[in-house]
Amino acid sequence: MIKVRYIGMLSTNLEQDEEEVEWNEALSDVAALIDTICEGRAEVWSQSLHQKNLLISVNNSMVKANQLLSDGDEVMLLPPMSGG
């Protein structure tokens, strides 16, 4: 099982804070996980999770979308940050 947490505006836009996704070999990396999560859901999911500057954390380490996944991983998805 992979625990997925949606942080900040993602949780607001998706109306969900977290979920668990059954791990399998097809979920080889974060990009595949995001594609699986968006499959069959409203367009807001794809728009929110396919943002160019989406921030990704796996097991409390910041990573890129090609990060490999394993059963038991925790993935946090964060909206792009801005500020001044």
CATH number at residue 72: 3.10.20.30
Taking the complete model, does pTM exceed 0.85, yes or no?
Answer: yes
Is 70 part of any domain? yes
In a domain, 62, yes or no: yes
3-33 pLDDT, tens digit each:
999 999 999 999 999 999 999 998 999 999 9
For residue 6, tell me if it sits in a domain: yes
The answer as to whether 84 is a domain residue is: no
Q: How many domains does the chain have?
A: 1
Strand 61-63, strand 18-21: pairing: unpaired
Residue 83 falls within a domain, yes or no?
no
